[in-house]
Amino acid sequence: MRLHDTLTAALDDALLRATAIAPFAEQHSLNVDDAYRIQQAGIGRRLQRGERVTGLKMGFTSVAKMQQMGVTDQICGTLTDAMQIDNGASLDLQQRIHPRCEPELAFLLKQDVPPDADAATAHAAIAAVAPAIEIIDSRFRQFRFSLVDVIADNASSSAFVLGSWHDCPADLTHLPVELHIDGRLAQSGSSADILGDPLRSLLAAARLARRAGIALTAGSIVLAGAATPAVALQPGQHIEAHVAGMGEATFYVSTP
């Protein structure tokens, strides 16, 4: 228990000071359940600082991300209200270590999604879907970590931006997704790159949520995972993620 507290504190410190630390899972032979306990203890600290849980994010739901980071299992992290940036607003670089952005799809739930939900139940629970950008910022040096490290680090969560909400189409599988940086195409993919169908990511989220000790309740936001590799942010950039038929999520990166 002591060890979990020490590691939770080290990660929280790295977050607050925007200073990277060395990965620790291997030295301490931690397993996935230990990692989710550390993640939730870190979230507990954020709640004590006045933040509120607003949803969940999925990680490694695309081959592009698995290859980029060398991790092949899906993971989840917890979203809080403090992580959300208004669409079109600016991201403060001072509070980050080495942030990257990635284009995603977000779900808003109108019903709880139980861990054993089938596709029809999960689809019926979706109130709306939106284009999204996730800003990830590993607390580990050089963005290098094992599966267990990244779970403990709340799946590298740092911030996210949502575009406008749309009714969920019956079929979510073939929506082109693009990331534009300063008006130029930087990455392109498809909603099908997210586990073949982003709805599968929601089903996986429901299962993982139980393991993580989070409930996927009505009102929650779920980030389905990146459709493309993540791209490192530079001061002053203007970032846009387009999802066909749904418009875009955008933000500016602050200048020092």
* Binding site residues, ligand OOG, CB under 6 A: 57, 59-61, 65, 69, 102, 134, 136, 138, 150, 155-156, 225-226, 230
Q: Does 137 bind Mg ion (CB under 5 A)?
A: no
Q: Does 135 bind Mg ion (CB under 5 A)?
A: no
Give the residue closest to Mg ion by C-beta.
134
Could you tell me how many residues of this chain bind Mg ion (CB under 5 A)? Answer: 2
- Nearer to ligand OOG among residue 40 and residue 120 (C-beta): 40
The binder of Mg ion chosen from 12, 34, 134, 193 (CB under 5 A): 134
- Residue in the structure block whose two tokens are 């992580």: 83
Q: Which does 60 bind (CB under 5 to 8 A by kind): Mg ion, ligand OOG, none?
A: ligand OOG
Q: In the bound complex, what is the minimum distance in angstroms from residue 120's beta carbon to ligand OOG? A: 25
Q: Does 224 bind Mg ion (CB under 5 A)?
A: no
Q: Which does 155 bind (CB under 5 to 8 A by kind): Mg ion, ligand OOG, none?
A: ligand OOG
Q: Does 193 bind Mg ion (CB under 5 A)?
A: no
Q: Which does 150 bind (CB under 5 to 8 A by kind): ligand OOG, Mg ion, none?
A: ligand OOG
Is residue 99 within 8 Å of 220, Cβ to Cβ?
A: no
Q: In the bound complex, what is the minimum distance in angstroms from residue 234's beta carbon to ligand OOG? A: 18
What does the alpha-carbon distance between residue 136 and residue 160 come to, in Å, rounded to a whole number? 8
Taking CB atoms within 8 Å and a gap of at least 24, the contacts of 138-141 are: 138/20, 138/97, 138/98, 139/11, 139/14, 139/15, 139/20, 139/21, 139/97, 140/20, 140/21, 140/22, 140/23, 141/20, 141/21, 141/22, 141/23
Q: Which does 156 bind (CB under 5 to 8 A by kind): Mg ion, ligand OOG, none?
A: ligand OOG
- Nearer to ligand OOG among residue 87 and residue 189 (C-beta): 189
- Nearer to ligand OOG among residue 93 and residue 151 (C-beta): 151
Which one of 109-117, 128-136, 172-180, 232-240 is the stretch in contact with Mg ion (CB under 5 A)? Answer: 128-136
The binder of Mg ion chosen from 83, 226, 227, 246 (CB under 5 A): 226
- Nearer to ligand OOG among residue 65 and residue 242 (C-beta): 65
Q: Which does 85 bind (CB under 5 to 8 A by kind): ligand OOG, Mg ion, none?
A: none
Give contact residues for Mg ion (rule: CB under 5 A).
134, 226
